[in-house]
Structure 1
Amino acid sequence: MFFRSKPRPATAADPDAPTEDTGVLDTLRRSLDAARLPAQAAAAAGRELARLEKTDPSVAEYAVGIHYLECILKLPWNACTRDTLDLTRARDVLDARHHGLAPVKERILEFLAARALRGAARPRLLVVDDEEIARTNMAHVLGREGYEVRVAGDGLEALDVLTGGFEADVVVTDLKMERLDGMELLRRLRRVAPDAAVVMVTGFATVGTAVEALRAGAAHYLGKPVNLDELKRTVRAVLEARTASSPGRGPVLCFSGPPGVGKTSVGQAVAESLGREFVRVSLAGLRDEAELRGHRRTYVGAMPGRILKELTRVGVANPVFMLDEIDKIGSDFRGDAASALLEILDPEQNARFSDNFLEIPFDLSRIMFLATANDVSRLPGPLLDRLENLAFPGYTDREKCGIAKDFLLPRHLRENGLSQASVSFTDQALSRIIDDYTRESGLRGLSREIGTACRRLAKLTFENAGQAPARIDAPDIPTLLGPRRFTREAAEAGDRVGVVTGLVVGEHGGEIVFVETARMPGTGQLLLTGSLGEVLRESAQAALSHIRSQAAALGVEPGFFEKTDLHIHFPAGAVTKDGPSAGVTIFCALLSLLTGRPARCDAAATGEMTLAGRLLPVAGIREKCLAAKRAGITTVVLPRANGEVVAALPDDVLEGLDVVLAADAAEAARVVLRGEKEKEEASGGRGE
């Protein structure tokens, strides 16, 4: 009986037989040769490829090595998009995407203009050679490359040019010259022009002179006669290296503000204005720094960090990269992700960012980083120091109404199969949605409620054979959205003793708050209730101590606190409150209680108060003024140090408000409390 034997597969005994694995390595080798990788990346890839050639394909390390090489190949080492900034177009893009936000738009345009000017500046070169023909030829060739070129006949003449105001980026100098040779010029340049890179040129090229020049600080060394093509390549490489290591790339903008005010979409508009790719990475809840830096290859399933993965996805090395919700980064036993951002955002370090997976320096300095945060006070100090905060204010009710009419309503009508010709909302209807169904500084809740109303209208239209209410007015809103969800705090109906209105800023923008006080027989205790933070408790202690120390001047019985307990309460006990800006409000409430003078129901105060009674400036003036207007307040007392901020507010914010700037707490009390002016007039009359 005979059997036909099957063909024998290729084994280690057949070293010349081609295998699938050797084909993969050959493909990777060809791709690496054609990739024009940086020197360190090419060397690391070569070492890994050599290791894989000796590794059994069946082991796990082989697949990890293949993945490592593929990651190196996919990274955009040299791919960049060219900026196409037109300030007029950039302004049009910002205006088309966002209503209002004029200060924010101006700051962004300034930021973009500075980057554009810095990028458009012509590199400045100084050519130093005592041979006129060589000097002229080098200057002519480099000038045709678009550089601004100056020439000098020797080292002393070169120093005169540099000290005369010409800031050279690169100095191309001969080594052997009369009066002052190239080596001495190189040494003096460290003092006169320390930022200039030096390319040494000489006809006496030896290993010793080259080593001496490079040790003295030269960036490159060329022999004579100079190959002009090589000179162009050398100068271009020196300028690129100088640009990569330059820290002067401008600040990293951090857009801060409440949710829904357009922080992320402004970042998209910046990318569109520059013609760059846009990348957004949410950092909310991020705790493991390996998410940013990557995992080391010894871990199972290791991969690069999110920074390099996103660059691989977009395929360019200079996108607009938005780090969203940067204030919500956490930290635990796995590391501090916020500390990892220090290297990523620092222009002194990010030109050689090393991912744990690749362990090869990658230049992140070409990226335009942006960040967003709701509360920058949560950021660590070193990280905040690397950011330039650009605060996004909340929208006024008038701005919300305009945005709803021009942007939100047309979009939701279109998405729900309705047309603006068949359905319209009056301004009163939109204002009712804003007042009764949203409580926010942004627009997300307003957009959600308008979408709900449009879906209800679409249902009515479908059920009534295409007929729906053509005009939606304020009384129709409860039919579409149900009972009102929010009631805004309004000013008191009348003056009260011991109750003063304050102004605060919370997650939903500005609000008013009532500071209530009461006295009772006791042993001199101060009770504080209302979920108060430590800073607010200290403000109350400071206000009481100031009253006790100035009791006679304030018209308070000096020994009032010996047999009296005082109670200060902030309503809405379920909401945590903190901050220094209620100090003057607490002072006025206590003074009203102890003197019996009622506090004005149409006045509100805000300001940090010192133990000596001085008022310090506070933040959120715009939001606080808007809150006062919504509540029916007509007089607002602010620290005098906030005068410049008040002067810069737009007219629609201050319309209907009488803003009083007070230097100290006593001056604020004369405005907030009734009876002080009458008492002064009476005492003045007796004096005469």
Structure 2
Amino acid sequence: MNMHPFKIRTIGDEDSGGNIISFIASDFIDGNTDIDEAHLKEILPILPLRNTIVFPGSTLPISVGRKKSLDLIRSLGKKQRYIGLVCQKDTSVENPDKDDLYHIGVIAEVIRVIELADNNLSIIVQAKKRFEWLEITQTEPFIKATFKLMDYQKGSKEDKEFNAILDSIRDTMLHMLHLLGEPPKELLQTLSNESFTDMLISYCATNLPIDSREKQELLAINDEKEQAYRLLMILNRESQILELKMNIQLKTREDLNQQQKEYFLQQQIKTIQEELGGNTQQIEIDEFRKKAKEKKWNAEVAETFEKEIQKLERLNPQSPDYSVQFGYLQTILELPWNEYTKDNFNLKNAQKILDRDHFGMEKVKERIIEHLAVLKLKGDLKSPILCLYGPPGVGKTSLGKSIAEALNRKYVRVSLGGLHDEAEIRGHRRTYIGAIPGRIIQNIQKAGTSNPVFVLDEVDKIGNDFRGDPSSALLEVLDPEQNTAFHDNYLSIDYDLSKVLFIATANNLNAIPQPLLDRMELINVGGYITEEKVEIAYRHLVPKELVNHGIEKGAFVIPKPTLQKIVEHYTRESGVRELNKKIAKVMRRVARKIASDETYPKSLKISDLKEYLGIEEYSRDKYQGNEYAGVVTGLAWTAVGGEILYVESSLSRGKGSKLTLTGNLGEVMKESAMLAMEYIHSHALELDIDSGIFENWNTHIHVPEGAIPKDGPSAGITMITSLASLYTQRKVRPNLAMTGEITLRGKVLPVGGIREKILAAKRAGISDIILCKENRKDIDEIKTDYLKGLTFHYVSDVKEVIDLALMEQKVDHPKNFTIPDEKK
């Protein structure tokens, strides 16, 4: 039979892989809707369909591909051939539950099951009667539900109005088929046949090109007459749309030759515009001019805009230049010319917000409050360019959000990591295809204000190649004297960036070009000390992770001693990213116990950490006593905080006074060791050392943990003290540590990282610390709470160091040990 498809579509429970079938009227002629209730059980298997509404009386194939659907079909026996076909609301849902399914569907009998390739099935079903599922009784391995059959009020054949509606449906259907082309005679005869009247509604409803929601509404109507009336309304609507499409085609249809083909689409668009009632180009231009009247731009920008919009009026809408010009004007209109948010001058509130979101960072907070204070007094101030530099994870980027909230400004952020094209900053010229503004103008446009807080993240990770040097393009952006008239290549109009508060972040200042550094105020955001990390975790990280893991406030706490243990023995970093991951790991374990109704500790103890985080990953150095000569405790700074550092010295017999250095030492540290050795040689008499010892004994200096590279001048006085103790065999004062650089003359010079070093000493049980006098100012900046239990000795000469560090008491040795002495 020749088939005239009204609609070709995919039927099935998959988006793809279903059978492409053509519905014809003969599929409905012998539609049997009787159900053998002896084989119909109280609980009905439900087969969800993605994009199909089945009406009673139809026989059709359905492809089955989802696991649950395959399990359902394979579970059917000879006596259980009835299933419920229900359409799901969202076709993208892979495993629908009760909320994803419509309540009304059709009971269908599975006539035949066909095995296909790729382990899929195709089933032939005959739709019987409508039903409504009441309650889902199972979801695995497939859905089952209780149900009730839905009564259907048939239309009376004596009802003249009903018969008229059916005739109108038939006529409209035939009219639509003729609009689509000449239908086959067999199809026309079938539709016109009186015996097909009973199946006419089901046939038309099944094949209508409308969405599933509207078909479902048709299926849910219980009155056949009302259903027919609703179907006729839909058919009339679709028929009118189809006629409109055909009319548009007829108006534009003519004998096309080679020269006329290029105008075909333009004629269609014009016809559509006439149907819509106007010229869209002129409407858009009028809309642009209306918006331009509301902008606060200056006369220069207004003049440029008018020139460009006149150029747009002269362009053909089908010209490629039209879309370029249209996009350019749209960009100008969307920029916030001279539009500013009002700053919040409440200094106490700003301080409160900064303290709430970030612990520590006193210098940064102080600088922001100062800027706000000057702005409040003066009323107009060029915003500074701040550069926050420091190790990863200390909160440089997140600080921008807090500053924006404190100032009541919009917040925008652009990541510059890996940027290597200058056009990303300055934009592309409009002559290029796909040209867009640079990231600066794009984000100003997104912010909707000309004075946002603008975070330039990872400014030290900008690259450069043959496409230009983005860091050089930033010079204009970050120069307060130049950014009042920032020039973007795409915009081609100067834009004022002087009110923008730029905050750059970086990890390594050495990677930033010097001209760019000169334009920024550098603020060091150093690594957090243990005490600060504990406070940050207690105030911010733990509450945040409780919310992230769905644990109620108060149901679980991590006390400060436990947090300190996590910081010291499970993390080694400057910031708190790793600490946050460890806390999240604990929360996941707790959430699992809560979800499984298992007991869990309401407060995490130190003894519980092994269960929740495993064995300790790192260990902190502890002071080891002063039982050996030549072993002195130094203080070192690392990127993850302060550490104590041991310097060990020993003697062995040999000619030539050989000095051996081990422990993966850098060049500066090796030079410190040689300086210390030379100082001991030149001051041997003052230290009561026989100079002849140096000719017959070799010296070995070792700094433990040889796998870790060490460098810097801070260990100078530690090495001198170690050698002096070794040669004199005098004990080193107990619980003493020191740090300082030395000169050949014996002067002690200041060093950096004092805060981290003294806190490391405190953790290790040190009570006395020797420092250079010039480092006293660093101690004064540290909170007094962190200095309790520590005594500081300030020195300026190596002699003072030795007098303070070495005791008169000598080391006790076994009988077979003799103090190195040339006389012996």
Q: TM-score higher than 0.5 here? A: yes
Structure 1 residues 527 and 677, CA gap change in structure 2 (3 angstroms): closer
Residue of structure 2 in register with 1:412 after alignment: 545
Q: After the TM superposition, which residues 230-629 of structure 1 pair with which residues of structure 2 at under 5 Å, given as runs? A: 249=382, 251-376=384-509, 378-463=511-596, 465=597, 467-517=599-649, 521=654, 529-548=662-681, 550=683, 552-553=685-686, 568-600=701-733, 602-629=735-762
Distance 2:266 2:365 in 1: 68
1:317-367 per-position Cα deviation (integer Å, ceiling 9, x unaligned): 100112223334444554443333332222111111112332332111010
Distance 2:648 2:321 in 1: 70
Distance 1:296 1:550 in 2: 72
Structure 1 residues 588 and 330, CA gap change in structure 2 (3 angstroms): farther
Residue of structure 2 in register with 1:6 after alignment: 253
Residues 115 and 250, structure 1, Cα contact 8 Å, conserved in 2: no
Q: Which AA in structure 2 matches 1:387?
A: M
Q: Which AA in structure 1 matches 2:618?
A: F
- Of residues 355, 363, 375, the one that matches 1:115 is 375
Residue of structure 1 in register with 2:27 after alignment: none
Return the offset for 1:90: 1.2
Unaligned 5+ residue runs, structure 2? 1-249, 255-259, 272-277, 812-824
Distance 1:673 1:117 in 2: 58
Return the offset for 1:626: 0.9
Return the offset for 1:597: 4.3
1:641-667 per-position Cα deviation (integer Å, ceiling 9, x unaligned): 111221232122111212111113332
Query: Secondary structure of the equivalent of 2:575?
Result: coil
Structure 1 residues 28 and 559, CA gap change in structure 2 (3 angstroms): farther
Return the offset for 1:623: 1.2
Q: Which AA in structure 1 matches 2:642?
A: G
Residues 296 and 339, structure 2, Cα contact 8 Å, conserved in 1: no
Q: Which AA in structure 2 matches 1:515?
A: V
Residues 393 and 623, structure 1, Cα contact 8 Å, conserved in 2: no
Return the offset for 1:473: 1.4
Residues 363 and 523, structure 2, Cα contact 8 Å, conserved in 1: no
Unaligned 5+ residue runs, structure 1? 120-242, 679-688
Structure 1 residues 557 and 458, CA gap change in structure 2 (3 angstroms): same
Distance 2:472 2:296 in 1: 33
Residues 491 and 601, structure 1, Cα contact 8 Å, conserved in 2: no
Structure 1 residues 313 and 4, CA gap change in structure 2 (3 angstroms): closer
Q: Which AA in structure 2 matches 1:609?
A: I
Distance 1:42 1:561 in 2: 87
Residue of structure 1 in register with 2:44 after alignment: none
Structure 1 residues 5 and 595, CA gap change in structure 2 (3 angstroms): closer
Q: After the TM superposition, which residues 14-163 of structure 1 pair with which residues of structure 2 at under 5 Å, given as runs? A: 28=288, 31-32=291-292, 35-45=295-305, 48-49=308-309, 63-102=323-362, 104-119=364-379
TM-score, length of structure 2 as denominator length: 0.59
Worse-superposed segment, 470-479 or 567-576: 567-576
1:154-179 per-position Cα deviation (integer Å, ceiling 9, x unaligned): xxxxxxxxxxxxxxxxxxxxxxxxxx
Residues 500 and 600, structure 1, Cα contact 8 Å, conserved in 2: no
Residues 383 and 502, structure 2, Cα contact 8 Å, conserved in 1: no
Residues 495 and 601, structure 1, Cα contact 8 Å, conserved in 2: no
Query: Secondary structure of the equivalent of 2:623?
Result: coil
Residues 294 and 356, structure 1, Cα contact 8 Å, conserved in 2: yes
Distance 1:662 1:601 in 2: 18
Distance 2:358 2:610 in 1: 29
1:364-411 per-position Cα deviation (integer Å, ceiling 9, x unaligned): 101012233344455444333333333334444344334433433333
Query: Secondary structure of the equivalent of 1:261?
Result: coil
Residues 581 and 606, structure 1, Cα contact 8 Å, conserved in 2: yes
Residue of structure 2 in register with 1:161 after alignment: none
Distance 2:389 2:726 in 1: 39
Distance 1:660 1:671 in 2: 8
Distance 1:19 1:562 in 2: 104
Distance 1:559 1:43 in 2: 92
Residues 251 and 386, structure 1, Cα contact 8 Å, conserved in 2: no
Residues 90 and 273, structure 1, Cα contact 8 Å, conserved in 2: yes
Distance 2:391 2:784 in 1: 23
Distance 1:301 1:664 in 2: 68
1:592-637 per-position Cα deviation (integer Å, ceiling 9, x unaligned): 4455445456322222333433233222211111111122222222
Return the offset for 1:474: 1.2
1:270-307 per-position Cα deviation (integer Å, ceiling 9, x unaligned): 21121110122233333444332233445544322221
Distance 1:4 1:59 in 2: 24
Query: Secondary structure of the equivalent of 1:424?
Result: coil
Q: Which AA in structure 1 matches 2:609?
A: I
Higher RCO (CA 8 Å, separation ≥ 6 residues): 1
Query: Secondary structure of the equivalent of 1:472?
Result: coil
Structure 1 residues 424 and 27, CA gap change in structure 2 (3 angstroms): closer
Q: Which AA in structure 2 matches 1:83?
A: D
Q: Which AA in structure 2 matches 1:117?
A: L
Structure 1 residues 627 and 10, CA gap change in structure 2 (3 angstroms): same
Distance 2:669 2:490 in 1: 47
TM-score, length of structure 1 as denominator length: 0.69
Distance 1:592 1:336 in 2: 56
Distance 1:506 1:286 in 2: 30
Distance 2:518 2:678 in 1: 36
Query: Secondary structure of the equivalent of 1:440?
Result: coil
Structure 1 residues 68 and 480, CA gap change in structure 2 (3 angstroms): same
1:499-547 per-position Cα deviation (integer Å, ceiling 9, x unaligned): 4332222221222223345566476776655554454455445445555
Residue of structure 2 in register with 1:637 after alignment: 770
Query: Secondary structure of the equivalent of 2:417?
Result: coil
Residues 383 and 499, structure 2, Cα contact 8 Å, conserved in 1: no
Query: Secondary structure of the equivalent of 1:641?
Result: helix
Residues 498 and 592, structure 1, Cα contact 8 Å, conserved in 2: yes
Structure 1 residues 10 and 276, CA gap change in structure 2 (3 angstroms): same
Residues 37 and 77, structure 1, Cα contact 8 Å, conserved in 2: yes
Query: Secondary structure of the equivalent of 2:454?
Result: strand
Worse-superposed segment, 401-410 or 628-637: 401-410
Distance 1:541 1:589 in 2: 13
Distance 1:565 1:332 in 2: 54
Return the offset for 1:21: 6.1
Q: Which AA in structure 1 matches 2:537?
A: A
Q: Which AA in structure 1 matches 2:602?
A: A
- The count of aligned residue pairs is 546
Q: Which AA in structure 1 matches 2:402?
A: A
Return the offset for 1:478: 0.7
Structure 1 residues 320 and 436, CA gap change in structure 2 (3 angstroms): same
